[in-house]
Amino acid sequence: AVMVKESVRVYARVKPLGRRQQAGVYSVDEDEKSLSNLEIIVPHDLADGFINNKRESYKFKFQKVFDQEAKQDVVFDSIAKPVAECVLAGYNGTIFAYGQTGSGKTFTITGGAERYSDRGIVPRTLSYIFDQLQKDSSKVYTTHVSYLEIYNECGYDLLDPRHKASRLEDLPKVTIMEDPDQNIHLKNLSLQQATNEEEALNLLFLGDTNRVIAETPMNQASTRSHCIFTIHISSKEPGSAIIRRSKLHLVDLAGSERVAKTGVGGHLLTEAKYINLSLHYLEQVIIALAEKNRSHVPYRNSMMTSVLRDSLGGNCMTTMIATLSMDKRNIDESISTCRFAQRVALIKNDAVLNEEIDPRLMVIQLKKEIQELKDELALVTGEQRTSALSQEELLRLDELIEIFLGDSNPNSNLNVGADMRKIKYCFSRMKQLINHSKISDKKLLLQHTSEEKDTNREGGEEELKKLQGLLQQRNNEINILVNMLKKEKKKVQDAVFQLNAASLGSTVLEQSLSVNLEESQTPSNCFSLKEAKDFNSSVHQLPFLSRQ
């Protein structure tokens, strides 16, 4: 399979400041090597009177930094479109947003509800994928979507078709299964088929209404869970046995921040602990992957890292968006998000083209092969059937012959199996058809040439008379020769008889022969003495000469 080895691509997006927020100091600098530098300045006055020896300036490298005024469509074109293209080509892809609560992860991934132009990466990606699928008629595509929520280390299916849940506990629980090849399977997570963009968006909205949100000091509707929206695409060329399967994970992680900062208690505190724990495990996996000679990567520690196992250091093209809130209060969090992003950028993934053979087509091909082998065996072992072919079989054979003769392709075959009865029938039928076509050709020819015959008839009669004359002449010549031969035969027999009686020398015979020949010479036939001798030797064959 084709393999693409590349690092995880890391982007940063700065959230626009709210009205009451004080701006932090940062600068974005476009590098000449298609990278962006983000510099964050931490002034000393934030230290509230303590002696502060902390660094003032922090620099981070990103693939690109989207500043506060960046629009959703630009973000999509730069970040998600290249990944979507790879997914359509048969590779796996993942896009995930990471950042503190209220830094714009959900806005970037899902989008805002106020304006159509605020749509996020998920709806835009769906739109783009279905648009491309409609344009490409060379393959047959099927698309499914799934929506998984991980809340307090439990998985839930947000697209459960049976009921709209009023409480999270009502949703089906998703559990993780691992096969012997260490592939992760999610039990109880439904795959919903989406044949067009509208169906896919409806499923997305259904899932979004079931998500867990809560009010935190940072955000009125903070997403308190990790959500993974996955688009599964399988494609196949007509007639081919190869299927390409790829999936695109769009991940919205829950907010990362220190519990002390959120000022929460009760179940919100429990949530924060779980969120932080799963993000901590995510970070551990990333650190392990970035280290050159780590043999064990702790994927199994949390559900999140198990599900994203392929996306991190596996068979996937992965992109990360670090979302940053740049007001003074959140500068620390933004720096820790950037540090995390720098570690993620060190991970190398091996994306493989996901091709497999369609089992159904494989079965059909194997059945066909078995039948051919059986037929060959029957021919070789001479096990021939003797019963006459049925009327249906004969009609079917006629049909096959007709198709075969009508096919202009020089490589087409007439395949009737290894049944000698059928083969013989096909040959005799072909012969009939050829003879029939010859007769009809002759009729056509006769029609075409009847006029020419009229004009040629007189000349033809003259030709006939000439030929008849010539034939008569040849007949006469043959008659004369035959009579001669008879006479010669008689004379020779007499001479031989005399020879035997008188026991004379051969010279006498020669003389008598030459005399006889001279007597019987005709103007048109002269034999020399030598020819006479040859003739003498062939006299015994004369009974075989017939008049013809």
Helix-, strand-, coil-residue percentages of the chain, each rounded to 5: 50, 20, 30
Q: Which of 226, 159, 215, 216 is nearest to 190 (CA)?
A: 159
Q: Known binder of ligand: residue 469?
A: no
Q: Which letter does DSSP use for residue 5 in this model?
A: E
CA–CA dist 121, 435 (Å, integer): 71
252's CB contacts (< 8 A; 6+ apart) are 96, 97, 105, 106, 109, 110, 223, 226, 227, 229
The end-to-end CA distance of the chain, in Å, is 83
Q: Known binder of ligand: residue 100?
A: yes
CA–CA dist 122, 83 (Å, integer): 12
CA–CA dist 1, 371 (Å, integer): 32
Contact 175, 155 (CB under 8 A): yes
Q: Known binder of ligand: residue 99?
A: yes
Q: Known binder of ligand: residue 104?
A: yes
With tokens 């007639």, the residue in question is 239
Backbone angles phi, psi at 327, to 5 degrees: -85, 165
CA–CA dist 220, 265 (Å, integer): 16
CA dihedral angle for residue 397, residue 398, residue 400, residue 406, rounded to 10 degrees? 160
Q: Across-strand partners of 251?
A: 96, 228
Structure tokens at 415: 């395949």
Structure tokens at 69: 């005024």
Q: Known binder of ligand: residue 120?
A: no
CA 99, chain centre distance (Å): 40
Task: Report the 3 state secondary structure along 230-241.
Answer: EEEEEEECCCCC
- DSSP sequence for 54-122: S-SEEEEEESEEE-TT--HHHHIIIIIHHHHHHHHTT--EEEEEEE-TTSSHHHHHTB-SS-GGGB-HH
Neighbours of 388 (CB within 10 A): 10
Structure tokens at 20: 């009451």
365's CB contacts (< 8 A; 6+ apart) are 241
Output Rg (C-alpha) for the chain, integer angstroms.
50
The 3-state DSSP class for residue 500 equals helix
Q: List Cβ<8 Å contacts ≥24 apart for 270-278.
A: 270/152, 271/151, 271/152, 271/214, 271/224, 274/151, 274/152, 274/153, 275/224, 275/226, 277/153, 277/302, 278/150, 278/153, 278/226, 278/254, 278/302, 278/303, 278/304, 278/305
Q: Known binder of ligand: residue 374?
A: no
Q: Which parts are annotated binding residues for ATP?
A: 99-106
Q: Which parts are annotated binding residues?
A: 99-106
